[in-house]
Structure 1
């Protein structure tokens, strides 16, 4: 009953240290040094090499190191009978909510423009917006989206959500499905994408979507880079239909140095830091599932392969 840590592009040492500290008796292995493949029953992963999991005949569960699972589900050779779980953590949730709030406030007060003026030594006060001037629309009303919307509501913003199905969140109208998307977009001055990445949501931030937003709308993507059609965003920014965009996730990460987002005056770039998993808190939840698995108890935060989240 061994645990395999398998990750690309993420420092795995904090996970090793945390799990060893919590449970020193566990047989913990790090890919590709797997030892006997038959002994591995549980995997903890982020961005694994595609096809890697088919080598473990007794694997029962694949646990994502974060809230997202698209990096797992995109594997065409994923074993069919293996459970997949994700992390839901109050630190992740609060971090995302505070980040999106900070970005909305930055846009409302035009602070990025002042940073550019500072570099030029240009003292030029500008008019700014207030909460009453904006309706913030949050696409994706899961745990992260609901908390982001709730925190913005508490600050006095008019907030609305859009999801695959209707949800009940106090004080926040939630529209659902394709039939209600157009109205949601037409009434959102700030659009925040917090959708899971699925076949239905990939490329949803496209020209058609942007055209349905009010003139001068602002776009925030903190979900996945694959949600955004980059050329469409640049076109709508250059046409002046969109006032700007704040992007924390990209199709290629790190964002290539030659990418036009770096130098575009209407785009703010951050390096995928809106909400970062804390191994110290997330590992406890994952190890709880490891215990549940071997005690034949139901796991928590199990992902639906059909829904993609």
Structure 2
């Protein structure tokens, strides 16, 4: 690839920002699109598609025959894996090693809010009421991390700083040495039964969809906390709602959902153990993501292996 190869940047919002950044770095044939119509108009002769929520059916068109590489602008590629529109010869890459820091901080910010009962302190302050109380420590608690990729590794590192015991579940087992106990995909019940905190960071595949169902949730301690920063469909959401209504689980800290935005009539908004955030645990700054895209473009130009190549059989 030379810098004149056609690159199409597609996002529903800030595509021109990334296009301008690439142009400033010497890439001369860069186009931006934010609508399906703009994407279709710019698709002919495109070699590299950098996208978020691209209308994938367009890749079935003859105009898309020039596409060789699709770079996702996020970490999740379940939409790409479900699609039958992407030719087998197209290389798919995703963003990796960008989210461990912010997402791990999110996990522990939320856990500390619960364990330190900060809401109680805030309520007392509003009432100007001096009411000392005992809080609980993360120290000595057992945290289970489902998904031991780059984000999971950073959660492990911070959990160690809090002197927590760390269990892990993964489908490959190649990072089993990082945790005190490792479990495989057929050991969910054994994995969760002794946990004080369960953190979900798995990619969404046919194997992981609704992996956390009613049986798994009820196998957890009633006092345990659930944290989902992976994909909403890792959890059978209706079954989670029933379990929370029964009073089981201390907290469900949820940043991702089966339907986003979370509908206003979803019961999770009002359940007392639910802590809801709008898919914000893994922010992608334009500067960091831009540097990532540039580095991968340079690898592509030199014929070097790309970062974040998706294994289509594994689904991530």
Using the size of structure 2 for normalisation, the TM-score is: 0.88
State which of 3, 9, 18 in structure 2 corresponds to 1:15: 18
**Aligned twin of 1:6:** 10
- Report if the CA contact (8 A) 1:175-1:181 is conserved: no
- After TM superposition, the structure 1 = structure 2 runs for residues 100-111 of structure 1, keeping only pairs within 5 Å, are 100-111=107-118
**Aligned twin of 1:77:** 85
**Aligned twin of 1:229:** 236
Q: 1:118 to 1:238 in 2, by over 3 A?
A: farther
Q: Structure 2: which 5+ residue stretches go unaligned?
A: none
Alpha-carbon distance in 1 for matches of 2:211, 2:190: 16
1:264-289 C-alpha deviation (Å, 9 max, x unpaired): 21111111110111222222222333
**Aligned twin of 2:293:** 286
Q: 1:162 to 1:112 in 2, by over 3 A?
A: farther
Task: Between 35-44 and 212-221, report the one with greater CA deviation.
Answer: 35-44
Q: Give the Å deviation of 1:28.
A: 2.4
- Report if the CA contact (8 A) 2:19-2:30 is conserved: no
Q: Give the Å deviation of 1:250.
A: 1.3
- After TM superposition, the structure 1 = structure 2 runs for residues 1-309 of structure 1, keeping only pairs within 5 Å, are 1-8=5-12, 10-23=13-26, 25-30=28-33, 32-34=37-39, 35=41, 37-55=43-61, 56-90=64-98, 92-115=99-122, 126-168=133-175, 172-309=179-316
Partner secondary structure for residue 250 of structure 2: strand
Alpha-carbon distance in 1 for matches of 2:45, 2:6: 6
Task: Between 141-150 and 70-79, report the one with greater CA deviation.
Answer: 70-79
1:87-114 C-alpha deviation (Å, 9 max, x unpaired): 1244x22111111111222222122454
Q: Structure 1: which 5+ residue stretches go unaligned?
A: none
Alpha-carbon distance in 2 for matches of 1:226, 1:121: 42
Q: Give the Å deviation of 1:76.
A: 2.4
Alpha-carbon distance in 2 for matches of 1:103, 1:2: 43
Q: Give the Å deviation of 1:169.
A: 6.1
Q: 1:36 to 1:217 in 2, by over 3 A?
A: closer
Alpha-carbon distance in 2 for matches of 1:281, 1:15: 11
Partner secondary structure for residue 84 of structure 2: coil
- Report if the CA contact (8 A) 1:64-1:84 is conserved: yes
Q: 1:123 to 1:267 in 2, by over 3 A?
A: farther
Q: 1:89 to 1:168 in 2, by over 3 A?
A: closer
- Report if the CA contact (8 A) 1:84-1:302 is conserved: yes
Q: Give the Å deviation of 1:24.
A: 5.0
Q: Give the Å deviation of 1:138.
A: 0.7
Task: Between 228-237 and 170-179, report the one with greater CA deviation.
Answer: 170-179
Q: Which structure has the higher relative contact order (CA within 8 Å, separation 6+)?
A: 1
Q: 1:123 to 1:218 in 2, by over 3 A?
A: farther
Q: 1:64 to 1:122 in 2, by over 3 A?
A: farther
Alignment length, in residue pairs?
Answer: 307
Alpha-carbon distance in 2 for matches of 1:163, 1:285: 26
Q: 1:168 to 1:76 in 2, by over 3 A?
A: closer
Q: 1:120 to 1:232 in 2, by over 3 A?
A: farther
